[in-house]
Amino acid sequence: MIRATLQALTSHWWRNPLQLFTLLAGLALATALWSGVQAINAEASASYDAAAATLGEGQFDQLTARDGGTIPQSTYVALRRAGWLVSPVIEGRLNGVRIVGLDPLTAPGGLGPVTVSDGVEIDTFLSGSGQVFGRAEVLNRLPDIDAERITAPDVAPGTVLTDIGLAQTLLETDGLTRMIVATEQPLGRPALQDIAPNLVRQVAQDGSDIGRLTDSFHLNLTAFGLLSFAVGIFIVNGAIGLAFEQRRPVVRTLRALGVPLRTLMALMAAELALMALVAGTIGVALGYVIASVLLPDVAATLQGLYGQTVAGTLQLRPVWWLSGLGIALGGTALAATAAFWRLAQMPLLAGGSRRALSMAAGRGARVQGGLAAVLLVLAAVLAFTADGLITGFALLGALLIGAALALPLILDRVLALAQSLSSGVRTQWFWADTRQQLPGLSLALAALLLAMAANVGVSTMVSSFRLTFVGFLDQRLASELYVTAEDAAQAQALTTYAAPRTDAILPIQSAMATVRDLPTEVFGARIGPTYTDNWTFLSAGPDPWQQVSDGTGILINEQLARRTGLAMNDMVPVGDSSFAVAGIYGDYGNPIGQAILSETVFAALYPDVIALRFGLRLPPDEVSDFRAALTRNVGIPDGAMINQAGIKQFSLDVFNRTFTVTTALNVLTLAVAGFAILMSLLTLAALRVPQLAPAWAMGMTRRSLGAIELIRAVMLAVFTAAVALPLGLALAWALLAVVNVAAFGWKLPMFLFPADYLRLGVFALGAAGLAALWPAWRLARTPPAALLQVFSNER
């Protein structure tokens, strides 16, 4: 019996291969977008984790030389002998590979490729020709060395780990780069200044600062993944619903023949689960393709934005397969619940005829409208009260779902209004018929709405970020040339040489301080037109730079202001002195607090800090010659100088890459939405023949009926776009003003990009029109016999 029942059920798919395709393709696309985005995120996170785990960055305090140079090994021994539990690290580059040397005997637990408890391995690591650990492609880039190469995928990209002794040999140095300070220290240690006055302690950055920064980017991607998946689920829901509708006669017949409802439903569930698995597998594979195409750009973006190295190649992680298949199965179950519910409720012999897609049931519409209203009100309340990531996401969710639920009702009202305003039979029929079709199309239109809103929202966010950041770069990178001296002597030579030849020399010097428990980098600025002319403030007194120059004022970044609650004119203690907040400036992408004092005040507070970096102001066309002259006369290597234009260009490149990722995802989401429209229209086309036949019988040509179909699709897309634009802007606002502040501590100003929205609108209409073209063409080519048959079937 089961076999015969299955045969009867599956015969439906043989007769409707297109529906089968819709179901599989929708689910596969949804899974692909979801798992692709997850794959990118997972790969990036794995890279940070590897970096953090192997280098102890973030989790432990670090000691570095005050002048940024190397630390003599004797300082390390002196610290250890004084009771400081520090572990030496040496870093350098060899053939472009970052060599990191660690001492496994003193490294805090969990750092380094081998630990004391690992057994024999440490012996080889420490002695003989040693070992280097790294990813295969990185190991291959190393020059010819004796050490044993060990492939270790967990090591940060572009990096090899080895013993500190071997690293010193490879890098031809006898100093250290930094030291890791163990969390637990013994009693009775002397102060750091007493042992190593030339070292500064950098407080561990809470472990998650790297994460917090890059999370901003991942947030975009995740939002995209989720929205794409939602769009995909709309399609699947539509396809499953339709398949169940169409199989009602089969179900009735089978049940009449004695197949228990339970068996029938179990078989249909098994059938769906199988399809979900097939589609899920295809989807994960597709997602892998998407991810591997996009990952190099994502890697480049993260590297450029945050200095995070992410491997450009993808590793196939089993967790994707699981999560991809899980999401496909879960999505299918979600989409099929309603269909199963209806099937279970169906009286034994009823439902033999296909249920015409009904007019929106009054009660159902009221429920839906009420739910939408509740969600939108909730979103409005959250917009004013949300102060954390969770509430931020709740706001996004309420906004999106509320809008999707409200869409059919809004469209219905708009159509009803148009109907009442129109005159003439044909126009009135057009509006009425459109309203009648709306329930069947509403899922597809909701998908389109979400896709467009996501596009508007995310592109507004990314573009706003770009504009803000470019302005920020203009402000921060005002100098034409940036030069780093190796030591104090070279810095002196540089300033002596450059003073008569440039318009201004701006030392870049900083020291770490703690302001209200927040680690803060204090800068000493040589105040001049470069600062007074270029800097813009989020809030500032009448003449902030004058106050700083007087030694009474301090400028602080937004992060410091937000996290410590400092406001204008509050007193900020730095060292032994206090300064009034004279201005607050935007400092995008910086995880820690920052403050600016005048050069004189800074020098009095931190007499030991010597400026080694300088910004030089000179006419842009003289930069190249001057750069060459610096190398020739002061001995500064070319690599220690950066052309401002170069930095800016690089930053813009980064954003262009971000746009590549964003655009690719935009196109994919729109394609999915277009696909949803196509499928809905194709489905409706067959069901609507009985409704169109009378219009044809009364004299409308098939051609004009087809044209009307096309116009209707485009018109509905226009209406949807009109709703999507404000929704997208609301989404962007929520992302920039709520989620970003909660996640990263700064608010991004929002800019509008009408040309982008227009282009997007055209794309969306194009997608809708394209999707409607084939159904319309099919309608125009429907044989008159098929239309006539409607009337005979009516009997």
Partner 1 sequence: MNVKILILCLLPMTAMAQGFAGLGRDAQGFAVPQPDPQFSFPADHGAHPDYRIEWWYLTANMTGPDGTPYGLQWTLFRSAMAPETRDGWDDPQLWMGHAAVTTPDAHFVTERLARGGIGQAGVIADPFTAWIDDWQMTGIDDARLTASGPNFAYDVDLTATGPLVRQGDNGYSVKSAAGQASYYYSQPFYELTGTLTLPTGDVPITGTAWLDREWSSQPLADTQTGWDWFSLSFDTGDKLMGFQLRQTDGEDFTYATWITADGTPTPFQDGALRAIPLDNTEVAGRSVPTTWRVTLPDRGVDVTVTAINPLAWMDTSVPYWEGPVTVSGSHTGQGYLEMTGYE
CB of 2 to partner 1, least distance (A): 54
Tell me the closest approach of the beta carbon of residue 181 to partner 1, in angstroms. 13
For partner 1, which is the closer residue by CB, 86 or 286? 86
Query: What contacts 791, CB < 8 A, 6 or more positions away?
Result: 693, 697
Nearer to partner 1 (CB atom), residue 189 or residue 342: 189
Burial label, 196 (beta-carbon count in 10 A; 0-12, 13-18, 19+):
buried
Task: Name the strand (E) or helix (H) holding 193.
Answer: helix 192-195
Residue 573 tokens, joined: 């203690």
Rounded to 5 degrees, what are φ and ψ at 746?
A: -140, 155
Q: Shortest distance, CB of residue 724 to partner 1, whole angstroms?
A: 59
User: What are the φ/ψ torsions at residue 145 (nearest 5 degrees)?
Assistant: -130, 160
Q: Is 512 helix (H, G, I), strand (E, B) or coil?
A: strand
b/e per residue, 639-656, with b = 16+ CB within 10 A?
Answer: ebbbbbeeeeeebeebbe
Residues at the site binding partner 1, with contacts judged by CB under 8 A: 73-74, 76-77, 80-83, 85, 103, 105-106, 116-117, 119-120, 122-123, 126-127, 163-165, 168, 184-189
Residue number with CB closer to partner 1 (130 or 280): 130
* Positive or negative torsion for Cα 271, 277, 282, 283: positive
CB nearer partner 1, residue 62 or residue 169: 169
Rounded Cα distance between 160 and 148, Å, is: 12
- What is the C-alpha to C-alpha distance for residues 633 and 628, in angstroms, rounded to an integer? 9
CB 580 within 8 A of CB 554: yes
Looking at the Cβ atoms of 163 and 297, the one nearer to partner 1 is: 163
Choose between 183 and 578: whose C-beta lies nearer to partner 1.
183
Compare residues 86 and 477 and give the one whose CB is closer to partner 1: 86
Asked if 34 and 324 count as a contact pair (C-beta separation under 8 A), the reply is yes
CB of residue 179 to partner 1, shortest distance in Å: 13
The DSSP H or E segment spanning 484 is: strand 481-484
Nearer to partner 1, 80 or 563 (CB): 80
What token pair was written down for 717? 């897309």
Rounded least distance, CB 196 to partner 1, Å: 14
CB of 186 to partner 1, least distance (A): 4
| Nearest distance, CB of residue 510 and partner 1, angstroms | 32
What's the rounded Cα separation, in Å, for the pair 442 and 448? 10
Give the Cα separation of 359 and 432 in Å (integer). Answer: 11
Q: Which is nearer to partner 1, 143 or 188 (CB)?
A: 188
Q: Work out how close the CB of 183 gets to partner 1 at its nearest, in angstroms, rounded to a whole number.
A: 9
Which H or E element spans position 98? strand 97-102
Smallest gap from Cβ 66 to partner 1, in A, equals: 23
In whole angstroms, the minimum distance from the beta carbon of 178 to partner 1 comes to: 16
d(CA 328, CA 336): 12
Query: Which residue number, 129 or 649, has a Cβ lying nearer to partner 1?
Result: 129
Given the complex with partner 1, which of 108 and 304 has the nearer CB atom? Answer: 108
* Residue 30: DSSP 8-state: H
How many other C-beta atoms are found inside a 10 Å radius of the C-beta of residue 777?
12
Q: How far is the CB of 161 from partner 1 (least distance, A)?
A: 15
Sequence-distant (6+) residues with CB within 8 A of 732 are: 456, 457, 458, 460, 461, 464, 750
Number of Cβ within a 10 Å radius of residue 715: 19
Min separation Cβ 259 and partner 1, Å: 60
Please state the closest distance from residue 81 (CB atom) to partner 1, in A.
6
Q: What span, in angstroms and rounded, lies between the C-alpha atoms of 312 and 419?
A: 56
CA distances to 673, 698, 708, 747 from 791, rounded to whole Å, are 35, 13, 22, 64
CB of 169 to partner 1, least distance (A): 8
Q: How many CA atoms lie within 13 A of 299 on its CB side?
A: 19
> Is 545 within 8 Å of 652 (Cβ atoms)?
no
Find the shortest distance in angstroms from Cβ 95 to partner 1: 22
Q: 204 vs 581, which CB is nearer to partner 1?
A: 204
Q: Which is nearer to partner 1, 122 or 481 (CB)?
A: 122
| Alpha-carbon gap, residue 545 to 535, rounded angstroms | 10
Q: How far is the CB of 112 from partner 1 (least distance, A)?
A: 12
- Report the residue number, 106 or 509, with the smaller CB distance to partner 1: 106
Report the nearest approach of partner 1 to the CB of residue 90 (Å): 10
Contacts of 362 (CB under 8 A, 6+ apart): none
Residue 168 or 502: the one with the smaller Cβ distance to partner 1 is 168
User: Could you give the CA distance from residue 783 to residue 702 in angstroms, rounded to a whole number?
Assistant: 9
What SS3 string covers 675-728?
HHHHHHHHHHHHHHHHHHHHHHHCCCCHHHHHHHHHHHHHHHHHHHHHHHHHHH
- Judged by CB, which is closer to partner 1: 117, or 423? 117
Q: How far apart are CA 515 and CA 574, in angstroms?
A: 7
Residue 13 CB, nearest distance to partner 1 (Å)?
60
Number of Cβ within a 10 Å radius of residue 355: 11
In the bound state with partner 1, the residue whose beta carbon lies nearer, of 82 and 467, is: 82
CA gap 58, 203 in Å, rounded? 9
* Closer by beta carbon to partner 1, 82 or else 773: 82
Please tell me the distance from the alpha carbon of residue 733 to that of residue 458, in angstroms, as a whole number: 10
Q: How far is CA 226 from CA 33, 396, 450, in A?
A: 8, 11, 11
